C-alpha cells in the first residue's frame, strides 16, 4: 500500500506537484475551457430559447459553481490523493464514514462517460481542421456548409476514425504524467483561443445582425420577468442550465479535486477559483456573441443542436479575407482546448487505477482509454447508423449527455458541498481557505445552504415536472 503521509504530518501527492500557482490556474482553466464553452453552450442556449436560459446559467455559475469549485479544490488539497481515496480518507478523518468514497467513484464513472462522447465531438474538430485547410469552406453558402456537416457525421467510419485519433492523443499526454504532460499543453492555448474568438466577434459585429444576437442572448421575455405560465423556460431548461454550469466548469466529478491534490499549500483557493470562473464564463459569452448574429444573418435555426457551431463558424470564415487560414487555426485551437479538457476528464479514473491496482501510469491510461474509446462508439453511431434509435432523452449520445451533465454532475456537486460544508469541521475548511472573515463566511453560507438547496430544488422540480 502506498502512503502519502509525509513525516511532518502534511500530505504530499504521489503524482508530483504544480510548479507554480500560475501552472495550476492554467491547468484548471485548460480543463474548464473546452467544447463546453464553444460547442455546447451556444447550442443548448439556442435550444432553450436564449436570454432566460443564459441568465439562469450565469446565476448557477456564481451561486452554485463557485462554491462547488472551491469545495473541490480544498478537499483535493487536504486529501492529496485520487478523488476516491481522498473522500474515503477525509470521511474517516472528519469522524464521518469511509463511504464518502462513493462520491469519488461516481466522479470517476462520470469522467469516463463524458469523455466517451466528448472525444467524438473533439474528433469532429480534427476533421474540420483538415476540411478548413483544404479550402472546402471558402466562399461557401449556408447550404453547402450544412451539407458538408451532414455528410461528414453521416459517415460513421470517418467519425470513428477521428474519435480514435483524438483518444490516442489524449492517452499519449495522460500517460506522460502531471508535470511533463498537462502543464505544457495549456500555456499558449487559452490566450490564443481568446484572440481568435475576438476576431470572430469583430466579424459578427459587422454582420449587421449583432443586435439580433445580443437580444437573443440577453433579453428576457416579459412573461418570465412576471413569472407567468407563458414563460418558455421549463424546469428542464433550468436543469440544463445547471448541468451546463457544472459541465463547463469541470466540477461535480472530482476532476478539480484531482487537480487540487497537486496544489501547493500556500496558493489562495478563492483567488484561483475566481480567475478560472471568470475566464471560462467570458469565453462562453464570447462564443455566443460570435455565433448567434451569424445564425440570424444566414437564416439558420438557433435550436439546430450539436451541429450549430460546425454550421455557423465555417460560414463566417468562408466569407473573411484570410478565412482559410483563420478557420484552420480556429479548429486547431478548438481541438487543443478539447484536448486539455479530455486530459482532465481522464485524470480521476487514471489516478484511481494507478493507486488502487498498483499499476504504472502508462498501463492505467491505456486500460481506461481503451474502455472510453469503446463506450464512445455508441456516440459515434448516434449521428448516423443509430440516429433513429431513440429512447428516454433521444439517441445514445443524448442519453449519456443527459445522465452525466444533468444528473451525475449536479448530484456529485450536491454531495461535495454537503461534505465540505457539513461533514468537514470548521477548522479544516478554514485552514484550507484561510479564515479571513467575510470571504470565508460567504463561502460557508453558499456551501452549506444556498448551493445544496439550489441543486436539490432544481433536480426535484425537473424530475417531478417531466
Ligand atoms: N469543462 C469542459 C468543457 O467545457 C468539459 C468537462 C466537464 C471537463 N467535466 C470535466 C473537463 C472534468 C475536465 C475535467 O469542455
**pLDDT value of residue 7:** 41
Half-sphere exposure of 180 (CA within 13 A, CB side): 6
Q: Are 34 and 337 in contact (CB under 8 A)?
A: yes
Of 68-82, 185-199, 382-396, least confident by mean pLDDT is 185-199
Position 262 confidence tier, pLDDT thresholds 50, 70, 90: confident
Q: How far apart are CA 421 and CA 425, in angstroms?
A: 8
Residue 336 near ligand 1, beta carbon < 6 Å: no
- What separation in angstroms does the CA of 447 have from each of 91, 240, 245, 325? 17, 21, 16, 46
pLDDT for residue 154: 97
Tell me which residue has its CA closest to atom 8 in ligand 1. Answer: 250
Task: Work out the average pLDDT over 119-124.
Answer: 98
Confidence at residue 178, expressed as pLDDT on a 0 to 100 scale:
54
What whole-number distance in Å separates Cα of residue 84 and Cα of residue 325? Answer: 45
**CA-CA distance, 33 to 54, in Å (whole number)?**
17
Separation of 174 CA from ligand 1 center, angstroms? 15
54-58, 184-188, 386-390: least confident range: 184-188
Residue 394 phi/psi, 5° resolution? 135, -135
Is 4 a residue whose pLDDT tops 70? no
Using a 6 Å cutoff on CB, does residue 312 contact ligand 1? Answer: no
Q: How many CB atoms lie within 10 A of CB 242?
A: 29
* 28 pocket-lining for ligand 1 (C-beta < 6 Å): no
Task: Please say whether the beta carbons of 277 and 249 come within 8 A.
Answer: yes
Mean pLDDT confidence for 38-64: 96
**CB atoms < 10 A from the CB of 170, how many?**
26
pLDDT of residue 22: 80
Which grid coordinates are listed for 355?
493507486
Q: At 404, which helix (H) or strand (E)?
A: none
Share of the chain above pLDDT 90, in %: 72
Q: How far is the CA of 406 from the centre of ligand 1 (A)?
A: 14
286 grid coordinates: 464570447
Stated as kind and residue range, the H or E segment containing 221 is none
What is the arithmetic mean of pLDDT over 417-434? Answer: 94
Count of beta carbons in the 10 Å neighbourhood of residue 218: 16
Residue 29 Cα, ligand 1 centroid: separation in angstroms?
10
What mean pLDDT is predicted for residues 298-319? 92
Q: Residue 463 and residue 466: Cα distance in Å, rounded? A: 6
Q: Which residues contact 317 (CB under 8 A, 6 or more apart)?
A: 132, 137, 323, 324, 326, 327, 330
**DSSP notation for 128-149:** HHHHHHTTTTTT--HHHHHHHH
Mean pLDDT over all residues of the chain?
A: 91
Of the candidates 365, 335, 355, the one whose C-alpha atom is nearest the C-alpha of residue 175 is: 365
What pLDDT is recorded for position 72?
96
Q: How far apart are CA 43 and CA 78, in angstroms?
A: 37
Q: How does pLDDT run across 196-211, given as a tens digit for each residue? A: 889 889 988 988 899 9
Predicted local distance difference test score (pLDDT) of residue 32: 95
- C-alpha 333 chain-centroid distance: 16
> 300-327: b or e for each residue (b if 16 or more CB lie within 10 Å)?
bebebebbbbbbbbbbbbbbbeebbebb
| Contact predicate 135/328, CB 8 Å | no
Beta bridge partners of 5: 11
220-242 average pLDDT score: 87
Residue 183 has a pLDDT of 65
DSSP letter for each residue of 150-180: HHHHH-HHHHHHHHHHHHHHHHHHHHH-III
DSSP state of 181: I
What's the CA-to-centroid distance between 144 and ligand 1, angstroms? 31
What is the per-residue pLDDT for 3?
A: 42
Measured over the CA atoms of residue 157, residue 161, residue 162 and residue 167, the dihedral's sign is: positive
Least confident residue range of 118-127, 178-187, 347-356, 366-375 = 178-187
Residue nearest to atom 11 of ligand 1 (CA): 341
Amino acid at each position: 500500500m502506498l502512503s502519502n503521509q509525509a513525516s511532518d504530518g502534511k500530505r504530499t501527492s504521489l503524482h508530483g506537484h504544480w510548479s507554480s500557482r500560475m501552472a495550476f490556474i492554467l491547468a484548471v482553466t485548460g480543463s474548464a475551457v473546452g467544447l463546453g464553452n464553444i460547442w455546447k453552450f451556444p447550442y443548448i442556449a439556442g435550444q432553450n430559447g436564449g436570454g432566460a436560459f443564459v441568465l439562469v446559467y450565469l446565476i448557477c455559475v456564481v451561486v452554485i459553481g463557485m462554491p462547488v469549485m472551491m469545495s473541490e479544490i480544498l478537499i483535493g488539497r487536504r486529501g492529496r490523493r485520487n478523488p476516491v481515496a481522498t473522500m474515503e480518507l477525509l470521511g474517516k478523518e472528519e469522524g464521518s464514514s469511509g463511504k464518502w468514497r462513493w462520491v469519488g467513484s461516481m466522479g470517476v464513472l462520470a469522467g469516463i462517460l463524458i469523455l466517451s462522447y466528448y472525444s467524438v465531438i473533439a474528433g469532429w474538430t480534427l476533421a474540420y481542421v483538415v476540411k478548413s485547410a483544404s479550402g472546402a469552406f471558402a466562399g461557401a453558402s449556408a447550404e453547402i456548409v450544412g451539407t458538408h456537416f451532414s455528410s461528414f457525421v453521416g459517415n460513421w467510419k470517418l467519425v470513428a476514425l477521428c474519435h480514435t485519433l483524438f483518444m490516442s492523443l489524449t492517452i499519449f499526454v495522460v500517460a506522460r504524467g502531471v508535470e511533463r504532460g498537462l502543464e505544457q499543453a495549456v500555456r499558449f492555448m487559452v490566450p490564443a483561443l481568446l484572440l481568435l474568438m475576438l476576431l470572430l466577434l469583430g466579424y459578427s459585429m459587422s454582420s449587421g445582425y449583432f443586435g439580433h444576437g445580443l437580444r437573443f442572448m440577453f433579453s428576457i421575455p416579459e412573461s418570465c420577468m412576471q413569472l407567468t405560465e407563458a414563460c418558455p423556460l421549463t424546469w428542464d431548461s433550468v436543469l440544463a442550465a445547471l448541468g451546463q454550469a457544472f459541465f463547463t466548469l469541470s466540477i461535480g466529478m472530482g476532476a478539480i479535486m484531482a487537480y487540487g491534490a497537486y496544489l501547493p499549500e500556500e496558493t489562495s483557493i478563492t483567488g484561483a477559483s475566481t480567475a478560472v470562473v471568470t475566464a471560462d464564463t467570458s469565453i462562453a459569452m464570447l462564443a455566443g456573441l460570435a455565433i448567434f448574429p451569424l445564425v440570424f444573418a444566414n437564416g439558420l435555426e438557433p435550436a439546430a443542436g450539436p451541429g450549430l457551431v460546425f454550421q455557423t463558424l465555417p460560414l463566417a470564415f468562408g466569407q473573411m479575407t484570410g478565412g482559410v487560414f483563420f478557420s484552420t487555426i480556429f479548429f486547431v485551437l478548438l481541438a487543443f482546448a478539447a484536448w486539455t479538457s479530455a486530459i482532465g476528464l481522464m485524470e480521476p479514473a487514471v489516478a484511481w487505477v494507478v493507486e488502487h491496482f498498483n499499476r504504472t501510469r502508462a498501463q492505467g491510461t491505456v486500460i481506461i482509454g481503451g474502455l472510453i474509446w469503446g463506450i464512445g462508439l455508441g456516440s459515434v453511431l448516434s449521428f448516423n447508423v443509430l440516429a433513429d434509435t431513440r429512447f428516454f432523452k433521444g439517441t445514445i449520445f443524448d442519453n449519456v449527455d443527459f445522465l452525466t451533465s444533468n444528473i451525475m454532475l449536479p448530484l456529485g456537486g450536491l454531495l461535495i458541498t454537503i461534505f465540505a460544508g457539513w461533514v468537514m469541521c470548521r477548522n479544516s475548511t478554514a485552514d484550507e481557505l484561510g479564515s479571513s472573515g467575510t470571504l470565508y463566511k460567504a463561502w460557508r453560507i453558499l456551501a452549506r445552504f444556498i448551493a445544496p438547496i439550489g441543486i436539490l430544488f432544481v433536480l426535484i422540480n425537473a424530475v417531478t415536472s417531466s
